[in-house]
Structure 1
C-alpha cells in the first residue's frame, strides 16, 4: 500500500469518526431538549442540534465525493460512540448542557490534532466542524447563569470530570482498535491526551468550576 493510499484511508476513517459522532450528537441534543426549563432553551438546544447535523452532512459529503459509502466507513466507530453516550446519560438539564460543553469540545480538539497529520482538505473540514464559538458561548452563558448554588457547582464539577474521563477512555480505544491509531506514536499519544486535558481545564475554569 502506497503512503498516499494509506493517508487517504486514514483521512476517510477520520471522516467516518466525525460523521458518526456528529450524527449521535444531533440525536442526543434533540432528545435532551426535553429537559429544557423554558421554550427558549428548547429552541436554543434544537438550533445546536441542527448545527451538529450539518457537520454530519459535511463529513458524509466528503466520503461520498471520494466514492465511499458513509455507513460502511462509520461502522467501526458505532459501538465505541454508542457506548460513550450510554455511559454518560444526563440526569437533568444541567448535566445535559455540561455534556454538550465537555464532549463536543473534546471531540473537536481530537479532530483538529488528527487532521493536522493529514491533508489540507482534512484540516479544513476539522476546522469547520470545530467552529463551536456560538455554541460554546451560549453553553457557557447558560451554565454560568445557574451555577451559583454551591451544591450544583460541586455536582457539575464532578460530572465534568466523569465526562472527560469517559471521553479520554474512548479516544484511547479508538486509537487502539481502528486505523486512526496509525496517526500517533507513543509519545505523540501522551502529548495528545495531555493537550486534551489542558484545554478541558481551561474550559472548566471559564465556568469557575474545578476540573
Structure 2
C-alpha cells in the first residue's frame, strides 16, 4: 500500500469517497421519501428516477472504495453525523420545500466535489466527473420549481427564505467537515494552515456565488 505521502494521499482519497458515498446514499433516501408525497403521478415518477440515479452513484463510489481495499461502511461512518445533522436541521415543511432542498443541496455538493476533484489523481477525477456530471437533474428540478413559482408570490417569498437557510446550513456542515477532518486542505495541495484556510475560503465563496446565480435563475433573491 505504500507509506509516507503516498499512503497519506490514499487515506485522503478514501475520506473524500467516504463523504461522497454517504452523501449519495442520503440523497437516495431523501428522494425516495419525497417521491411518496409528490402532488402528481408525473412528479412521483420524476423524483423516483432521481432516487435511482443517486443509488447508482452510491454504488459507483462504493466500488471504488472496495478497489482501494477500504471498507465502505467504515469509510462513510466519520461523515454520517455531519450529513445527518444537515438533514435534521433542514426538514422540509412540504413537497415544495423538499424540491428546493434537493435543488440547492445537490447543486452545492456537485460544485464542491467537482472543485476538489481537480486536485485528485486522474482515475479519481474521472469518477467524480462521471458521478457529478451535469446529467440534467438540476434542470429537472429547476423547471419543476419554476412551474410551481410561476404567479405565486407567496410561495416564491417562502422558498427564497428557505433557500437561504439551506445554503447556510450546507456550507456550515461542509466547513465543519473540513475543520475536523482536514482532508480538503490536503486534497487542495495546501500544506500550511494559512494557505489551507485561504483555499477553502475561496472555494466556499465560489459555492455561495454559484448558489446565488441558481436562485436568480428562479427569480428568487439569494
Q: What TM-score do you get using the length of structure 2 for normalisation?
A: 0.92
Deviations 1:58-91 (A, max 9, x none): 1100000111100001010001101111111111
Q: Shift in Å at residue 136 of structure 1?
A: 1.0
Equivalent residue in structure 2 for 1:168, among 154, 167, 171: 171
Query: 1:189-208 counterparts in 2 under 5 A?
Result: 189-208=200-219
Distance 1:201 1:115 in 2: 22
Kindly provide the CA deviation profile for residues 85-129 of structure 1, in whole angstroms up to 9, marking residues without a partner as x. 111111111111100100001011111122222211221111112
Question: What is the aligned-residue RMSD (CA, Å)?
Answer: 1.1
Q: Which runs of 5+ in 2 are unaligned?
A: 189-195
The equivalent position to 1:31 in structure 2, one of 25, 30, 33, is 33
Q: Secondary structure at the match of 1:133?
A: coil
Where does 1:22-61 land on structure 2 (aligned, <5 Å)?
Answer: 22-61=24-63
Matches of 1:7 and 1:34 in 2, distance apart? 41
Which residue pairs with 2:110 in the alignment? Answer: 108
Give the corresponding residue for 1:143: 145
Which whole-Å deviations, capped at 9, do the CAs of 1:156-188 have from their partners, x for residues lacking one? 000000000000000000101114244250110
Q: 1:100 and 1:47 mapped to 2: Cα distance?
A: 13
Q: Give the Cα–Cα distance (whole angstroms) in 2 for the partners of residues 89 and 182 of structure 1.
A: 30
For the 8 Å contact 2:116–2:184, the answer to whether it is kept is no
For 1:181 and 1:128, the matched residues in 2 are separated by 20
Q: What is the total number of aligned residue pairs between the two structures?
A: 211
Deviation of 1:24 after TM superposition, in Å, equals 0.6
1:123 counterpart = 2:125 = yes
Structure 1 CA distance, aligned partners of 2:73 and 2:163? 31
Greater displacement, 108-117 / 20-29: 108-117
Which runs of 5 or more structure 1 residues have no equivalent in the other structure? none
Return the alpha-carbon distance in structure 2 between the equivalents of residues 181 and 114 of structure 1: 8
